[in-house]
Amino acid sequence: MAAAGVALTGLGSAAANSLIRKTIPSSGETLPAVGLGSWQRFDVGPGDQAGREACTEIMRNFLRLGGGMVDSSPMYGHAQDVIGHTLGEIGETPTLFSATKVWTSGRDEGIRQMEEALRLWRLERFDLLQVHNLVDWQTHLQWLDIWKQEGRVRYTGITTSHGSRHGQVEDLLKQETFDFVQFTYSITSREAEQRLLPAANDNAKAVIINRAFEGGNLFRQVAGKPLPDFAAEIDCESWAQYFLKFVISHPAVTCVIPATSKMRHLEDNMAAMTGRLPDAGQRTEMVRYFESIT
């Protein structure tokens, strides 16, 4: 199978001002290559109105800057409720690509959980439903396929994180018919290059990457250290862009979903979708430089 492709959708006439989009292999639809995660950052209780309004501004500007995929889960506390609040405040959101996860055991409980998720998000259907950390995946993929046939969800998938269960995920990529897979990949956690990214590519699965910043640890490792001179060759102006461009430049990666509650971080992350991406040789150079300074 061909790798997930790259399409550039222009914000202006210059290629450097274009947004990088990647292709969903099962449909040919494209997605902005940088999405928005909601783990911790959107877990804001109903009594914290200031926190919820801050999340609304993050969501508003994420969509304004060309964002699409917003990813969540029932595991993330109040995050789904907060997402619904933000979408209600913003109004029409035609570019939103809604993604959440079923995180429970049993068919009836899974269906109940996702119906509750629809209520919380204030949506009639999701773009993507994923089985969170493979919990009871055999059961959930069956009824998710039915929901897909009925038009209640557009795509289905599975997730894992922190480098766990790669062997099982690889088997499922080869054997099952879902559309998306989500796992951890970063400039310092590259195990996915050995099995999962090739398997996703070969079996026409879109790839969502979580923990591209390793929970912020990558920034701590490079604190006070300069970007390499060659960063200009890939239109990279910050460490966040460096780490994100490394991830989304892999041919099999469709979207990366960093979470943030700070506007300057959001704008920095979204800028990784503009300009040039590193080629294979530059990716190797990026790893070599990072390892030389950490």
Residues 6+ apart with CB under 8 A from 134: 158, 159, 160, 165, 168, 169, 172
Q: In this structure, is residue 58 part of a structural domain?
A: yes
Confidence of residue 16 (pLDDT cuts 50, 70, 90): very low
| Residue 187 belongs to domain with CATH number | 3.20.20.100
Q: What is the dihedral of CA 43, 49, 50, 56, to 10 degrees?
A: 70
Checking if the pLDDT of 192 tops 90, the result is yes
Residue 286 near residue 248, CB atoms below 8 Å: no
Range picked from 4-8, 9-13, 199-203 for highest mean pLDDT: 199-203
Q: Which residues of 81-104 are buried (b: 16+ CB within 10 A; e: fewer)?
A: bbbbbbbeeeeebeebbbbbbbbb
Segment 75-124, tens digit of pLDDT: 999 999 999 999 999 999 999 999 999 999 999 999 999 999 999 999 99
Q: In this structure, is residue 12 part of a structural domain?
A: no
Q: What is the pLDDT of residue 30?
A: 97
Q: What is the pLDDT of residue 2?
A: 36
Residue 42 near residue 82, CB atoms below 8 Å: yes
CA triple 122-125-128, angle to 5 deg: 110
Total of domains in the chain: 1
Sheet with 6-10: strands ordered across: 6-10, 18-23, 30-32
Task: Name the amino acid, one letter, at 289.
Answer: Y
Q: In this structure, is residue 3 part of a structural domain?
A: no
Q: What is the pLDDT of residue 18?
A: 86
CA-to-CA dists, residue 171 to 8, 26, 166, 168, angstroms: 32, 18, 9, 5
Element (H, E) at 154: strand 153-159
Task: Name the amino acid, one letter, at 136.
Answer: D
Q: In this structure, is residue 9 part of a structural domain?
A: no
CA-to-CA dists, residue 271 to 29, 59, 96, 153, 274, angstroms: 22, 16, 18, 30, 6
**Among candidates 72, 166, 154, which has minimal Cα distance to 113?**
72
CA-to-CA dists, residue 175 to 39, 155, 166, angstroms: 29, 17, 14
Q: Give the whole-angstrom CA distance, residue 59 versus residue 117.
A: 18
Q: Whole-number mean pLDDT of the chain?
A: 94
Q: In this structure, is residue 1 part of a structural domain?
A: no
Question: Which residue range(s) make up the domain with 52?
Answer: 20-293
Q: What is the pLDDT of residue 13?
A: 30
Q: Give the whole-angstrom CA distance, residue 192 versus residue 169.
A: 11
Checking if the pLDDT of 264 tops 60, the result is yes
Residue 243 near residue 211, CB atoms below 8 Å: no
Q: In this structure, is residue 150 part of a structural domain?
A: yes
Q: Give the whole-angstrom CA distance, residue 42 versus residue 164.
A: 25
Q: Give the whole-angstrom CA distance, residue 157 versus residue 159.
A: 7
Q: In this structure, is residue 263 part of a structural domain?
A: yes
CA-to-CA dists, residue 281 to 13, 137, 234, 284, 286, angstroms: 28, 38, 12, 5, 9
Q: In this structure, is residue 60 part of a structural domain?
A: yes
Element (H, E) at 21: strand 18-23
How far, in whole angstroms, is CA 72 from its chain's centroid? 10
Beta bridge partners of 129: 100, 156
Residues belonging to the chain: 294
Checking if the pLDDT of 17 tops 50, the result is no
